[in-house]
Amino acid sequence: MAEQSLLEAIREGLHEEMARDPAVYMLGEDVALGGPFGVTAGLAEAFGTQRVVNTPISEGAVMGLAIGAAAVGLRPVIEIMFIDFITLAMDQLVNHAAKLHYMSGGQLKIPLTVRVQCGISGNMGAQHSQSLEAWLAHVPGLKVVTPSCPADAKGLIKAAIRDDNPVVFIEHRGLYWARGEAAGAGAAVTPIGEAAVLREGEHITIATFGRQVAAALEAAAELAPQGISAEVIDLRSLQPLDMDTLVESVRKTGRLLVVHEAVSEGGIGAEIAMRVQQAAFYDLDGPILRLAAPFSPIPASSALDRFFVPGKAEILRAVRGAFRRQGAGG
C-alpha cells in the first residue's frame, strides 16, 4: 500500500487541479516559495509565477483580490498562513465572498478556496494555534471542510476547488507529516457534506474531525476488549454537516460523544449536540457528551499543551465515565 503525508496529498491535489483547469490560480504570502510549511513547493516551477503568485503581507488584500478574480471566472486558491490571521480578512470573506451569490440574485458565483492552517502543534502560542472553525461555519454562504487523512485531504481540496461556492479548507498543522494511504493519481473527489464512518460500533458514537480522529480510533480500539463498542465518525465537513449519518449512528448506539480541539464555548460540538437531540431525543440512553479544550488562550508551553488538547486519555475517561454514571455496560 502506497503511503504519503497529508501535506503531500494536498500538494498533489493542488497540482492535479492546476493541470486540469487553467482557471485555477494560487495566491498568498510566499506560495511561490512553498509557503511556511512547504505545501505549495514546486507549483511555481510547474505552472509559473503568473499562476502561483506571491502577494504582499496583507490578508485583506489577498482575500479581496481573490474574490474579484473568482467573480470574473477564475478559481483562485489562497493561502492564509495561520487561521488566526483570517481575522484580518473577515470583512472580505464574510461580507463579500459569502454574500455575493445571494445578493446578485444568483448572477455571480464565487468559486474561491481559502486554505488555512490551524491547531496546537509546535508551541506557537495563542496567536498561531487557534481552531476557529465555528466562526466560519456560522456564516451562510461559506462551506467549511477539514481532512484527517491524506486521501481525504486530496479528495476534499479537489472538491473545494471545483465548487462554485467559497470553501474554507482547514489543515491541522499537527497532521501535516502524518502518513496514511495515498489517494493515488487522479483520485476521486471527496464529496463535501458527507461524513465517514471509520469504525462501526454498538454502544456509543464518537463524532470528531481533524487530529482528534486518530485519538478517537485509538480510544475505540482500547475500549473494545472492555466490552464497549464505539462507533467513530469523521465529520470531514463542518458546513454543511452530515446530520443523516450522525443521527443514524446515534439511533443505533443510543449515546454520543463529540470531540474537538477548539474551546468548548460556542463550538461545533454544541451545534451537533442540539441538532442530534432534536432529531433523536427518544433514542438517547444518556446525555450527549462534549469534550473540548478549556475556555482559555492557548499556552505556548509544551507541558501545558498536553493538558489543553483532548486526546485518547480524555476520550477514554469521558466514555467510561458515561457508562459508569448510567450503570450501563457493553
Domain boundary among 181, 216, 247: 181
Q: Among this protein's residues, is 59 annotated catalytic?
A: yes
Expressed as residue numbers, the domain containing 213 is 196-326
Q: Among this protein's residues, is 202 annotated catalytic?
A: no
pLDDT at 296 over 90: no
Contact residues for 96 (Cβ-Cβ < 8 A; gap 6+):
64, 67
Kindly state whether residues 145 and 74 are assigned to the same domain: yes
Kindly state whether residues 26 and 165 are assigned to the same domain: yes
pLDDT at res. 189: 92
Kindly state whether residues 132 and 226 are assigned to the same domain: no
pLDDT at res. 1: 66
Kindly state whether residues 61 and 113 are assigned to the same domain: yes
Kindly state whether residues 57 and 164 are assigned to the same domain: yes
Q: Which of 16, 17, 29, 59 is catalytic?
A: 59
Kindly state whether residues 133 and 228 are assigned to the same domain: no
DSSP β-bridge partners for residue 169: 115, 145
Burial 214-227 (b: 16+ CB within 10 A, else e): bbbbbbbebbeeee
User: What does residue 226 show for φ and ψ, rounded to 5 degrees?
Assistant: -90, 5
Across the chain, mean pLDDT equals: 93
pLDDT band at 329 (very low <50, low <70, confident <90, very high): very low
Nearest 10 degrees: CA dihedral of 233, 114, 296, 292? 0
Query: For the whole model, what pTM was predicted?
Result: 0.94
Kindly state whether residues 174 and 226 are assigned to the same domain: no
Kindly state whether residues 138 and 200 are assigned to the same domain: no
If one counts every other C-beta atom within 10 angstroms of the C-beta of residue 2, the result is 7
User: Minimum mean pLDDT among 186-195, 297-306, 316-325: which range?
Assistant: 297-306
CATH of the domain at 204: 3.40.50.920
Q: Which of 8, 12, 101, 128 is catalytic?
A: 128
Count of structural domains, the chain = 2
**C-beta of residue 171 within 8 angstroms of C-beta of residue 196:** no
Q: What is the C-alpha radius of gyration for the chain, rounded to an integer number of angstroms?
A: 20
